[in-house]
Structure 1
Amino acid sequence: MLIREFVDQDWSQVWPIIQEVIGAQETFTYDPAMTAEQSYGMWVEMAPGRTVVAVDGGRVLGTAKMGTNKPGPGAHVSTASFMVAADARGRGVGTALCRDALTWAREQGYAGMQFNAVAESNRSAVELYRREGFAVIGTVPGAFRHPTLGRVGLHVMYQEF
């Protein structure tokens, strides 16, 4: 598996992953009715941010976006988001994307990385982030409406560099 910069030709494989993930409504707070155009504008980061894909052969298995969490006085903290195709989960794609984002953020001189909204029911992601050095620093109770579990908390997770 190779992680590389996103190029426009990747969108035909990235969009179905995004559509699948947001359509499930189990992990991301994005509107499941977003169009491909809206999703492109939301997912593909412009410099100084970065969007990458994890590929195996010619197939995109997952994607990540990363950049500054908030502008101004908060611009020293980065953030990132990750999506992996359903049939590629459990194969280390998310871990590789997370590690790539952390390396990038450190190289860019950020002081840490913050995830603003990790559904507490997304146990595999929470466990992955904890393994990679993140801590839950707070949870907003009931802030995420899961399709089968009802309202669950949204974690704020952070790692200081």
Structure 2
Amino acid sequence: MSSRRSAMFKEEEWARVQPIIRKLYLLEDKSLKDVITTLSTIHNFRPSKAQLESKLKQWHMAKNMTSMEWKHVDMRIRKRRLRGKDSKVYLSGIPLRCATVEKARGRHSFESTLDRVTGKAPPSPEDLSLIIRTPSPPAEVQIWNTHNIPRLLLTDFFR
């Protein structure tokens, strides 16, 4: 009875497929099973599920957060709101929808009386690629009203 052993891949091979894995797993929101299937059929790269999970953790590519991590997000957003700042949450470089963040904050932001009295803050996530920052301004074209600019008023006057 032979035991199946997964192939060991060199770092160069992993580096070659890392952008593909990021695209499939994070941007296209594919499951691990779908990522493995795509890698094996299209890219001739057959990692085991455990190998892929290990690399995702090493590369800080996560789709989900724990309850403690959401509590940390909630605390940071509350502090930013007190300073009058809006917040946008990015997980693994992917912006999370505002509705998703608000729903998770509501679900995970319970604070016990003891924690409230002691002022104990949730610990910062250690290895999570989490960014909370002010959202970028919208990329819309602004139309300026040029009818009240003195120089243009004078040129219109002398025409």
Same fold (TM over 0.5): no
If the length of structure 2 is used for normalisation, what is the TM-score? 0.25
Between Structure 1 and Structure 2, which shows a larger proportion of strand residues? 1
TM-score by length of 1: 0.25
Identify, as 1 or 2, the structure richer in helix. Answer: 2
